[in-house]
């Protein structure tokens, strides 16, 4: 790829991406279930803090090292090499496996996952995971709490009959 009259290479190797990096001992955890490039891991909004095995800490946003890797000083964006414009990274399209079992919605500088009923968003793995409900409960539409449900006109929690 030709950039500014010279040749530049883009590292397309894919490896492990980690949600957490611990600088006190140089270790990582929160390995994502899908591999990606260092640029996608470290430059996307709220994705990775370290990449590869052994793990290498991602550069800190707003530093020169971050700008060199990411082409922008802010996570979630890159700079178009031909126009110089700051462009939003479409994490939904670029990161395979993100929001698995749900719907990924790209947002300016970020993304969000919408999980179907019965699934909860795991912000460590960036996927929607099935949530088992105790017998006699159903999951609310907004997926944050369990409610008792009525079985055959009988309130399954209090044991009282209810007209339905």
pLDDT tens profile 117-152: 989 999 888 999 987 555 555 544 444 444 444 444
Domains of the chain, residue spans? 2-91, 133-164
How is domain 2-91 classified at the CATH fold level?
A: Extracellular Matrix Fibrillin (3.90.290)
- The DSSP code for 58 is P
DSSP H helical segments within the chain, as ranges? 38-43, 64-70, 91-94
What residues pair up with 39 in beta bridges, in sequence order? none
Helix (H) / strand (E) containing 7: strand 6-7
| 3-class SS of residue 46 | coil
For residue 140, the model assigns a pLDDT of: 47
Nearest to 108 by CA among 128, 86, 129: 86
Q: Is this structure's pTM higher than 0.75?
A: no
Question: How many Å apart are CA 94 and CA 48, to the nearest integer?
Answer: 14
For residue 110, the model assigns a pLDDT of: 92
Weakly modelled stretches of the chain, pLDDT under 70: 1-8, 132-164
**CB–CB of 115/128 below 8 Å?**
yes
For residue 45, the model assigns a pLDDT of: 87
**Separation of first and last alpha carbons in the chain:** 67
For residue 154, the model assigns a pLDDT of: 40
For residue 137, the model assigns a pLDDT of: 53
Residue 1's Cβ-count burial label (10 Å; 0-12, 13-18, 19+) is exposed
- Count of C-beta atoms within a 10 Å radius of residue 110: 15
């Amino acid at each position: 790829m030709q950039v500014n009259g010279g040749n530049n290479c883009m590292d397309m190797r894919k490896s492990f991406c980690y949600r957490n990096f611990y600088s006190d001992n140089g270790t990582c955890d929160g390995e994502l279930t899908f591999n990606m490039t260092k640029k996608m891991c470290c430059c996307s909004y709220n994705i990775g803090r370290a990449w590869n095995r052994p793990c290498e800490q991602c550069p800190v946003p707003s530093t020169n090292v971050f700008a060199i890797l990411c082409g922008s000083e802010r996570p979630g964006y890159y700079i178009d090499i031909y126009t110089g414009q700051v462009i939003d990274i479409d994490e939904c399209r670029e990161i395979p496996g993100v929001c698995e079992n749900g719907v990924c919605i790209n947002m300016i500088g970020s993304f969000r996952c919408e999980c179907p009923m019965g699934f909860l968003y795991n912000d460590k793995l960036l996927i929607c995971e099935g949530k088992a409900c105790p017998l006699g409960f159903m999951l609310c539409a907004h997926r944050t709490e369990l409610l008792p449900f009525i079985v055959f006109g009988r309130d399954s929690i209090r044991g009282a009959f209810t007209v339905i």
